[in-house]
């Protein structure tokens, strides 16, 4: 279905982490790329105004403002969203002037109400580190909490999970940069801590660094890498949901399937 052809229900996903630098932006970008490749209309929004990544990752120069200016009512959605190439999905860069902003919940809720009316199949929202404002979580269908296998990151993620439980936001844990290193927390320990929400794993992959220099999402540089196949795995429930298989989309939780997928068990 073409974007804008008729009103449709948009599925809104955010990527989040308590600790910085664990891969929120890379996962958001990869999801957007994979969902677009699968034929869906996707908008990727960078809400990390103090430290935007999506524009730089895609080689977009932020000249005309973005998310920050729309929230402030200085710019219209239609004038701010751009189609990124070669990905073909829409991007709303962070905008702003590099300073952290303190938007009100009312302004943010008005922004997300507008975003959800833009007739996308999926909106993927990249967020700054730390708990994302409680008052606006109701706009999202789901959060992906990103962690690396290090203890500091895994424990921080637990706090986010508690916040999302409190606000009844559906969420899943994704362990990024898995190297199978003996110093990593092993999946069993993480699964014990998180139970069914421990859901996905992404390997450490140098294509990610290559993709940053080339301004092309790693998912698109090599569709057959374990990284890209793991992204496909993460996206499967979203696609099933869009195809109307709601029941199948609510997959069995835990890392069991994904461990097999990684060849671990
Ligand atoms: N799976 C991966 N394999 C290899 N490198 C990775 C992987 N995931 C992330 N990285 C590296 O880690 C860096 C940080 O990732 P990213 O910017 O997505 O983290 P972030 O959580 O969004 O950070 P911030 O908290 O600053 O927003 C990336 O620039 C990339 O070089
Ligand atoms: Mg980021």
**Any domain includes 6:** no
| Best residue among 30, 126, 208, 230 to mutate for probing ligand 1, ranked by most atoms within 8 Å of CB | 208
Query: In which element (H, E) is residue 232 found?
Result: helix 226-242
- pTM for the structure as a whole: 0.92
**Any domain includes 108:** yes
CB atoms within 10 A of CB 215: 15
d(CA 212, CA 204): 14
pLDDT value of position 1: 43
* Site residues for ligand 1, CB cut-off 6 Å: 17, 20-26, 48, 51, 53, 129, 176-177, 202, 204-205, 208-209, 212, 227
**Any domain includes 124:** yes
Closest residue CA from atom 10 of ligand 1? 23
Q: What is the DSSP string of 17-82?
A: -SSTTSSHHHHHHHHHHHHHHTT--EEEEE--SSS--HHHHHT----S--HHHHHTTSS-HHHH-E
**Any domain includes 249:** yes
Contact 191, 264 (CB under 8 A): no
**Any domain includes 4:** no
User: Residues with beta carbon < 5 A to ion ligand 2?
Assistant: 24-25, 53
Domain count, the chain: 1
Return the CATH number at 218. 3.40.50.300
pLDDT value of position 125: 98
Which ligand 1 atom sits nearest the alpha carbon of residue 209?
31
CB atoms within 10 A of CB 59: 13
Write the CB contacts of 18 (distance below 8 Å, at least 6 apart in sequence). 129, 130, 131, 153, 156, 157, 159, 160
**Any domain includes 211:** yes
| Best residue among 20, 23, 205 to mutate for probing ligand 1, ranked by most atoms within 8 Å of CB | 23
d(CA 94, CA 80): 10
Model confidence over 118-169: pLDDT tens digits?
Answer: 999 999 999 999 877 788 999 999 999 999 988 888 888 888 999 999 999 9
Question: 191 to each of 153, 154, 181, how far by Cα in Å?
Answer: 14, 11, 17
Closest CA to 205 of 196, 218, 190, 223: 218
**Any domain includes 59:** yes
Rounded to 5 degrees, φ, ψ at 232 are: -55, -45
Query: In which element (H, E) is residue 203 found?
Result: strand 198-203
Per-residue model confidence as pLDDT tens for the chain (265 residues): 455 455 678 999 999 999 999 999 999 999 999 999 999 999 999 999 999 999 999 999 766 799 999 999 999 998 999 999 999 999 999 999 888 889 999 999 999 999 999 999 999 999 999 877 788 999 999 999 999 988 888 888 888 999 999 999 999 999 999 887 766 667 777 777 777 777 788 999 999 999 999 999 999 999 999 999 999 989 988 998 888 876 666 655 556 666 655 555 5
Residue-number span of the structural domain to which 32 is assigned: 11-261
């Amino acid at each position: 279905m073409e974007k804008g052809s008729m009103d449709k229900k948009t599925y809104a996903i955010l990527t989040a982490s308590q600790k910085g630098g664990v891969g929120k932006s890379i996962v958001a970008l990869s999801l957007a790329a994979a969902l677009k490749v699968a034929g869906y209309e996707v908008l990727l929004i960078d809400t990390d105004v103090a430290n935007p990544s999506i524009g730089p990752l895609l080689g977009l120069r932020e000249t005309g403002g973005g998310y920050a200016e729309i929230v402030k009512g200085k710019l219209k959605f239609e004038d701010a969203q751009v189609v990124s190439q070669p990905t073909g999905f829409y991007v709303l860069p962070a905008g702003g002037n590099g300073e952290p902003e303190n938007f009100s919940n009312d302004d943010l809720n008005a922004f997300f109400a507008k975003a959800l009316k833009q007739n996308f199949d999926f909106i993927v929202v990249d967020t700054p580190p730390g708990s994302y404002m409680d008052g606006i979580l109701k706009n999202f269908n789901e959060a992906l909490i990103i962690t690396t296998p290090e203890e500091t990151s895994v424990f921080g993620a637990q706090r986010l999970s508690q916040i999302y439980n409190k606000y009844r936001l559906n969420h899943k844990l994704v362990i990024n940069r898995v190297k199978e290193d003996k110093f990593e927390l092993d999946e069993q320990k993480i699964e014990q801590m998180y139970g069914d929400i421990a859901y996905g794993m992404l390997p450490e992959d140098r294509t990610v660094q290559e993709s940053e220099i080339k301004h092309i999402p790693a998912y698109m540089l090599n569709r057959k890498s374990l990284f890209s196949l793991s992204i496909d795995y993460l996206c499967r429930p979203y696609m099933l949901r869009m195809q109307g298989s709601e029941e199948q989309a609510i997959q069995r939780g835990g890392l069991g399937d994904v461990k097999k997928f990684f060849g671990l068990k």
